[in-house]
Structure formats: C-alpha cells, structure tokens
Chain A
Amino acid sequence: MAGYFSLDIITPERVVYTGAVVSLQAPGLDGLFGVLHNRAPLLAALGPGQVSFVTREDENLYLAISGGLFEVANNRAMLLAEEAAFANEIDLPAAEARLEAAIAARGALSSSEAELDARQTEVEIAEAWVKVGQTARH
C-alpha cells in the first residue's frame, strides 16, 4: 500500500486545499520535482506552473500557481503561493485573454531589466493558467 502525506495549500487569501495525498509534482525553479511518502525534508522555491497531485482517494487534481514555496518534513507538506486556482476554478476564456495581453505586453520596448523580467513572469503565469484550465475540459 502506498503511503501518503498531508498537504496544505495556502494563499494570502484563503486555504486552497487541505488533505492527504499520495504523490505530488511541482514546478521547482530548477525544474519539475516529485514528492512521495517519506520524502526527506525539503524546502523549495517554485516558479509559475502546474502543480498536480493524487489524493488518498485516488483523485488527480491540477492546480495553477503563480510561483511560491514548498516545504515538506515528516510527511507534512505545505505549499505557499501568491495565487492558486484548481483546474475547475479557472475561467478559460479569461485566462486565454490574459495570456494574449501578457504576450502583447512582453513585445513592447522597455529599458528596465526588472520590467522585462516581470513581463516574462506574467506570461509564464498566464500560460500556467491556460494549461491547467485546459485539463479541466478533458
């Protein structure tokens, strides 16, 4: 029998999810990583992207996050994100509009490096929302 660990997903606005999960995949800054039962303690920074996890009830859940932090120790995991939305909470047309706007904004000229970085991040966040929003359809 596969072991499980507890997961809390928290944003500044609400507690998004609390429950027991079997496995989790999250977009670390250096690439995707997976977490299973009895994972060695880890603290990781997350980029924008898709978090997917399998609950103890064997349900696959997909979550879009704008970036955040992930901590796991003693089979207790906590994910902090500024923004997070489950696939079924995403308004796909709105997400696609946001992506288009973000791509258009990225094309504009700017001398500030920070500004360019921020636009690139916004594109990546919008992409995550669209990608996760699309999984809800299948």
Chain B
Amino acid sequence: MGSLRDIRRQIGTVKSIAKITTAMKMVAAAKLRRAQDRVNAARPYADKMRELVHRVAPLAPAEVVARHALLMPREEQRLALVVIASERGMCGSYNHNILRHAMRFVAEREAAGWSVELVAVGRRAETGLKALGRTTTAFYPMPDVGASAAEVRVVQQAIVDLYKRDEAPVSEVWVAYAEFINAVNQAPRVDRFLPIEAAGLTGGADFSGDTRLEFEFAPDPEHLLDTLLPKFVDNQVLHYLLEATASEYGARMTAMSTASDNANDMIGSLTLQYNRARQDAITRELMDIVGGASALAGE
C-alpha cells in the first residue's frame, strides 16, 4: 500500500480522467443525436428513390437494364472492399469489430481465388488494415456529422468510381461498415454494393400493370434509368456513411460511459484505501502517545 500522498495523487489523476471521459461521453451523445437526425432526415428521399427505381426498372426493356453499367456482372475475379471505420479512437471495440468482419470476408474470398483490393474510409480503417499487414489502394477521411454535402460527395464519388474506372476493373464492390441498431448495439456487416441486383430492382415492390400504363415518362424509361440509377447508387453510399457515423458515436458514447463508470469505481476503492491508510497512521500515533504516557506514569 502506497503512502498517503501517493494515494491522494492517484485519486486526483483518476478524477481528472473521469472528468475527461464524462465530457467525451456528453459530446458523443450530442453527436449521436445529430447523426440520428441525419439518418431520419435522409429516409424520405431514400424511400422515394427506391420506389422510383422499382417502378421504372421493370418498364425498360430487360436487355437494356441488364446492359446498364451499374447492373452488369463482370468476369474478373477481382473485388474492391471499402472498409468504413472511424477517424479517431476512444470508441471501444467499434473499429476492431469492423476490421475483424472485413478480414473474415477477405479470407473467405481469397480462399475462393479472388483478389481483393482494399479501400479505407476513416483513419482507423487505414491504420488498422496496415497493422494487419494489408495495403490499401486509397484512403478517404470519414466525414463527420457536420460535414458539408460537398465533403460527403467526395467519398461518395470515390466509392462509385471504383466500379466505373477502366483500369484494373473490379467486378464487385463490397462495403464493410457497422449498421446502427441502437446506442449500445452496432452490427458490423459486409454488404455487396455493386453491381446492384437486377432481380432486386424488378421484383420486390409490387406495382400493378394499370398504374404503370398511366404514367408518362420524360425521357423514356430507358433513359430515365440512366439518371435514376446513379442517384440511387449515390444515395446508397450516403446511407452507409450515415449508418457508420451513427454507429461510431453510439459506440463512443458507450465506451466513454463505461470508462467513466470504471473511473468512479476506482475513485471509490482508492478513497477507501486512503481512509484506511489515514486511520492506520492515526492509530499508530495514538499508540505512540499512549505508550509514551504509560511509560511516564510507570516511573
């Protein structure tokens, strides 16, 4: 057991740590709220967009839909995996979980003879993949909650371009991110992003024949699809990014809340230790005095 002064110093340190983690928890909670607002604000647009795609895709000639650049399956056994993690640490096992899921997916695909290209979004994805001995072909900072539409668009564009570029073409683009379930629960997932499942476009939503016929299209469904699909795809990326942001702040809030609890527990046990040590010292002094006094009385 340390001296009184050591214990007191330790209590001081833990208290200031608790103060910091509590503040970080508050910040994370506020940002989580904003991130959730963004997710909710984006929903009407995303829903409508999906509905429109489902309405228009069945009307374009099937072979045109199949030939659309964003729907076409390709031959190459090459895929790109975009790993979306956070910019900074202090968010518990958030990044670790995403990386673990991503690497499990990579291992499976590589065992099946695919070559995998990795793209990192968020500094922690970059450093995490490096630490696992992987190289990334590109890195983009994770846009924060308050990021402007332009900042988000850079990342959006980069991810969509992975599929569109001509050199070293990939036949699939996958995204590893954490789906937001609630503040304490985030589910890491690896989803196929491109090509879009043509079956998912034409099936799914049920629009009966007569509603289709009523509509006038400008331009015709085939060309409308050229406008619609890229927007749909952009919006999907936005969805991944918003989910990831909400998950990140949820994870951070939980981590910081646990850290604050632990710090408070530690303050409790250190205070107990301190009081005990103080009582020991007092008892020892009393013993000395009593011993001295009785020695004098015995004379």
Residues of A at the B interface (CB closer than 8 Å) are 8, 10-15, 28-30, 33, 40-45, 67-69, 71, 73, 78, 80, 82-83, 114
Q: How far is the CA of A129 from the CA of B52 in the complex (A)?
A: 26
Q: A82 near B234 (CB under 8 angstroms)?
A: yes
B46 within 8 A of A: yes
- The answer to whether A45 and B227 touch across the interface, beta carbons within 8 angstroms, is yes
Q: A12-B238, A13-B41, A30-B218 are in contact. Are A43 and B56 (CB under 8 A)?
A: yes
B298 interfacial by beta-carbon distance below 8 Å: no
A41 touches B45 (CB 8 A): no
For B219, what are the chain A residues with a Cβ–Cβ distance below 8 Å? 29-30, 45
A62 to chain B, nearest CB (A): 20
In the complex, B192 has a CB within 8 A of chain A: no
Q: With A12-B46, A45-B224, A82-B234 in contact, is A73–B218 under 8 Å at CB? A: no
The distance from the CB of A91 to the nearest CB of chain B, in whole angstroms, is 13
A69 contact from B38, B164, B231, B238, Cβ within 8 A: B231
* Alpha-carbon distance between A80 and B41 when the two chains are bound, in angstroms: 13
Q: A41 contacts which chain B residues (CB < 8 A)?
A: 214-216
Closest to A112 in B: B166
Query: In the complex, what residues of B have CB within 8 A of residue A13's CB?
Result: 38, 41-42, 149
B267-285 contact mask (Cβ, 8 Å, vs A): 1 or 0: 0000000000000000000
| B41 touching A14, Cβ below 8 Å | yes
If A10-B44, A12-B235, A15-B44 touch, whether A29 touches B218 (CB-CB below 8 Å) is yes
Measured between beta carbons, the chain B residues less than 8 angstroms from A82 are 149, 231, 234
Cα distance A72–B41 when bound, in Å? Answer: 22
Contact residues of A: prevailing secondary structure: strand
Question: What separation, in Å, do the CA atoms of A28 and B49 have in the docked complex?
Answer: 18
Question: Assuming the A-B contacts A13-B42, A45-B228, A69-B52, are A83 and B216 also in contact, with contact meaning beta carbons closer than 8 angstroms in the complex?
Answer: no
Q: Determine the distance from Cα of A48 to Cα of B130 in the docked complex, in whole angstroms.
A: 42
**In the complex, chain A residues whose CB is within 8 Å of the CB of B217:** 42-44
B45, A42: Cβ atoms closer than 8 Å: no
Question: In this assembly, does B134 line the interface, its C-beta being within 8 Å of a C-beta of chain A?
Answer: no
B48 interface residue, CB < 8 Å from A? yes
Given contacts A10-B45, A69-B231, A83-B149, contact A42 B52 (CB under 8 A): no
Q: Which residues of B have CB within 8 Å of A71?
A: 52
CB distance from B284 to the nearest CB of A (A): 69
Q: How far is the CA of A12 from the CA of B215 in the complex (A)?
A: 25
Q: B218 touching A10 by the CB < 8 A rule?
A: no
- B contact residues around A80 at 8 Å (CB): 45, 48-49, 52, 231
Nearest residue (CB) in A for B46 is A12
Sample of 19 more A-B contacts, CB < 8 Å, known A41-B214, A43-B55: A10-B45, A12-B41, A13-B149, A28-B218, A29-B219, A30-B219, A41-B216, A42-B216, A42-B217, A43-B215, A44-B218, A45-B219, A45-B227, A69-B49, A69-B227, A69-B231, A80-B45, A80-B48, A82-B231
Give Cα A10–Cα B164 distance, bound, in whole angstroms. Answer: 28
Chain A positions within 8 Å of B45 at CB level: 10-12, 80
10 chain-A/chain-B pairs, Cβ below 8 angstroms: A12-B235, A29-B218, A30-B218, A40-B214, A40-B216, A42-B216, A43-B217, A69-B228, A73-B215, A80-B231
The smallest C-beta distance from A95 to any residue of chain B, in angstroms, reads 14
| A15→B42 CA distance, assembly (Å) | 9
